[in-house]
Chains A and B, each alone.
Chain A
Amino acid sequence: MDELESTLKPLMLDGLNGDAKAHARLLKLLSERLRAYFGRRLSASPEDVEDLVQETLLAVHLRRATYDRAQPFTAWAHAIARYKLIDHWRRRKIRATAPLDDVADFLASETVDVDAGLDLTRVLSTLPARQRTLVEDVKVQGLSLSEAGVRGGLSEGAAKVALHRSLKLLAERLRHADR
């Protein structure tokens, strides 16, 4: 636990200072932890695990200004993961139209696509065209943000703003995506 904290916290602090590599490393390590955390708690619906991992990563990223540098990082990240899990359960209960013990569900769960996280692709397709192109250029083509911006006719500053907006929209859509 202490070892995890002493690994993650410096990465978070560097990320808050604008170090993209440290930020990516942090999210990568965190995603492994989150996968285990949600996996243990969602053994009945493993297909939701990756969605929750992605939703939590988005929340961690978009709300990182709420991290108090004097606070243990793991406590902060855990509180977010826990909130997202409870939120997930709450939403599930609200639209509990499909019975949990449905036979079709049960059979389907045998062939769960381990390559999950497909929802995000679908959600991505609902973004406005310009933002989608920018996101896909960075994501799929592996272009840097400024290169992707040039392709879309945006200045670097405008590309930054557009990417941030796209991520916010993505988080919003993902949360409300019908699953």
Chain B
Amino acid sequence: MQTDELIDLLAADAVPVARFTLARRLALGAIVGSIVVLLLVLGWLGLRSDLATAVGGAFFWIKAAYTVALGAAGFWAVERLGRPGVSATRAAGFGAAVLLLFILAAFAQGLSLSRPAQLIALEGVSWTVCTRNIVILAGPVLAITLAILRHLAPTRPTVAGFAAGAFSGGLAATLYGLHCPEAMFVFVALWYTLGVAVSGAVGAVLGRWVLRW
């Protein structure tokens, strides 16, 4: 086939493209993913028993805001990295700022505690399962996001995969907050952050293989 014939074919397929196609596709995937994660939290882990009183306190929302912000940075980066020739510096900067802010708050809290209290705060009641649970919950969202991303045009598969993982991890961690009763900055700064980071790493590794087009 001649290239000119191919061009005629492609022109015959020139349907209008809506402006926010990428964000809409990713948001749709995020909604479906959230439902799956929510069902997992309800069916597998269960809600924290003190949820009704916890939502009245500040830290429940601070924790949620932190993980939502991390996920948002990931979402923003995915939307950028799905486009050839576009960088995600601002999204990465936003994510780094959120991370730094929360870690500073955790340090401030940690320094105000006595030695034994520091250890207790770090371990909480669930340090052995927290990171693992977040990574497992992130799985379905990551699968959906990578499937969408594959049909975009990521030219940096590893970085794009990491962004997809961070987004999935942030979303999963937020919903995990409905189960997890931990209420210390130091705990969340370590184990939640680690959960998001490991999800990001899984995304980066998968991205290398999956995001080819």
Contacts and interface: CB of A to CB of B under 8 A. Distances in A.
Interface residues of B, number: 31
A69 B21 CA distance: 12
Contact of B3 (A53, A69, A145, A164): A53
Given A54-B3, A57-B7, A76 B83 contact: yes
Interface in B179-213: 212-213
B21 to A, nearest CB: 4
Given A23-B10, A145-B12, A163-B12, A66 B1 contact: no
The binding surface of chain B is classed by DSSP as loop
A28 B152 CA distance: 23
A21 B7 CA distance: 11
6 contacts: A63-B84, A78-B85, A83-B84, A115-B2, A138-B8, A140-B5
Interface string B1-43: 1111111111111111101011000000000000000000000
Contacts of B151: 63
A175 B71 CA distance: 33
A20 B14 contact: yes
B26 to A, nearest CB: 12
Contact of A68 (B3, B16, B86, B213): B86
A56 to B, nearest CB: 10
Contacts of A33: none
Interface of B: 1-17, 19, 21-22, 82-86, 151-153, 155, 212-213
Contacts of B22: 65-66
Interface residues of A, number: 53
B14 A71 contact: no
Interface string A62-91: 011111110110011011101100010000
Given A16-B17, A23-B14, A66-B22, A82 B8 contact: no
